[in-house]
Amino acid sequence: MSDLILYLIMAVIGYFFGSKLRHQKQITKLTGRIQTIAIIVLIFTMGMRMGSNEEVMNNLNSIGFSAFIMTIMIIFCSVTAITISRKFLKIDRFGNIEGSQVDFDEVEEEEEKAEKDSSMTIIIIVCVVSGLVFGYFAVDKLFTDMEFFNTLSGNFITIGLCILLFFVGFDMGFEGTVIGHLKRVGLRVLAFPFIIMVGTLAGALLCSFFLPLSVKESLAVGAGFGWYTLAPSIIMDKGLVTASAVSFMHNIMREYISVLIIPMTAKKAGYLEAVAVSGCSSMDVCLPIVEKATRGDIAMYSFISGVVQSLAVPILVPLILG
């Protein structure tokens, strides 16, 4: 909860400065470059930390397949649920209400962005893979105390997220469209986190029919919504060792796969679908990726979605397990 408050404060501070510099158009090139560099460093550090984690790397063969299948199914169902729902709510793939008064130059700009912007996906893939390789082969040679490395890298990730969330807030303030967009959408913005959760649980339920997990175990894994520290601990506390391991791997995979596919999802499926991919991490790790692949006001959807799903984890997982 303290991290959530910290990230929110950084975004608010960024929003304040962005709103004050709204007429300085040349500043967007500089902030865009800083964001890209920060994302590269953050994703490389995450990959390095995962590659250096023996528990994660050793479990890739034994339970990784089940976790991978569950991750793909849950992401697919979450994205599908959002697509169906936004069409029902008459919202286009750029997150605009159909029939509302929109700037057609902005729509054309969004379409061009969706068609051309694939460089971020390539950058992210390179950073994750290189981080994994470096973490697996080099970290234990550079650090004799792995606990110190985990603490150091964890702090580094937190600092990186604070910087990125400052610029996410900055972009929201600079664009100046967030408040107007929320007024047009209204309370519908609160519906999307719950739609994502329904899609997630539907995907988990389907997995119970062909994976070695019971319905209760599959739903509990899905109800982790990408929170790989809390959900596996709750499941383990119930004595479900295999389900806990699958939960841990699935939640890690969901975060890392989300980092890879958010730009592509925004380009091919839609901006709100990009929010649906990542679960809880849509409010922190994946928020800068969502904002970079879409625009500032969509980041508000992403943040709200992550907060709601995070609050739901400690309620739903114990409730499902009984």
Nearest to 182, CA basis, from 25, 296, 86, 312:
296
Q: How many domains does the chain have?
A: 1
Q: Which domain holds residue 106?
A: 2-321
Q: What is the pLDDT of residue 69?
A: 92
Q: pLDDT tens digit string along 219-255?
A: 999 999 987 767 887 887 787 877 887 888 888 889 8
Q: What is the pLDDT of residue 116?
A: 45
Q: What is the pLDDT of residue 105?
A: 47
Cα 36 from Cα 40, distance rounded (Å): 6
Nearest to 246, CA basis, from 97, 41, 70, 16:
70
Q: What is the pLDDT of residue 20?
A: 85
* Residues 75 and 258 sit within 8 Å (Cβ to Cβ): yes
What pLDDT tens digit does each residue of the chain (322 aa) get? 566 677 778 888 988 888 888 777 777 777 778 877 887 887 788 778 777 877 667 766 667 888 899 999 999 999 999 999 988 888 888 877 765 554 444 444 544 544 445 566 677 778 878 988 898 899 888 888 888 888 888 788 778 878 877 887 787 777 666 566 566 656 667 788 999 999 999 999 999 998 888 999 999 999 999 877 678 878 877 878 778 878 888 888 898 899 889 999 998 899 999 999 988 888 878 888 888 888 877 888 888 888 888 888 888 988 998 8
Task: State the residue for tokens 């970290």.
Answer: 139
Nearest to 281, CA basis, from 231, 216, 208:
231
* Residues 187 and 194 sit within 8 Å (Cβ to Cβ): no
Residue 239's H or E segment, with its range, is none
Cα 293 from Cα 266, distance rounded (Å): 6
Q: What is the pLDDT of residue 221?
A: 94
Q: What is the pLDDT of residue 79?
A: 95
Cα 124 from Cα 259, distance rounded (Å): 7
Amino acid occupying residue 197: M
Burial of 130 (0-12, 13-18, 19+ CB in 10 A): middle
Cα 128 from Cα 48, distance rounded (Å): 8
* Residues 132 and 51 sit within 8 Å (Cβ to Cβ): yes
Question: What are the DSSP calls for 29-73, one per residue?
Answer: HHHHHHHHHHHHHHHHHHHHHHHT-HHHHHHHHHTHHHHHHHHHH
Cα 93 from Cα 86, distance rounded (Å): 8
Q: Calculate the alpha carbon distances from 134 to 92, 138, 288 in Å.
A: 41, 5, 24
Cα 199 from Cα 231, distance rounded (Å): 18
Amino acid occupying residue 237: D
CATH of the domain at 231: 1.20.1530
Q: What is the pLDDT of residue 107?
A: 46
Query: CA-based Rg of the chain, rounded to a whole angstrom?
Result: 19
* Residues 166 and 10 sit within 8 Å (Cβ to Cβ): yes
Cα 247 from Cα 66, distance rounded (Å): 10
How many alpha carbons fall within 13 Å on the CB side of residue 5? 2
- As a residue count, the chain comes to 322
Q: What is the pLDDT of residue 41?
A: 84
Question: What are the DSSP calls for 121-147, one per residue?
Answer: HHHHHHHHHHHHHHHHHTHHHH-S-HH
Nearest to 70, CA basis, from 265, 225, 262:
225
Q: What is the pLDDT of residue 24?
A: 76
Chain-centre distance for alpha carbon 58: 25
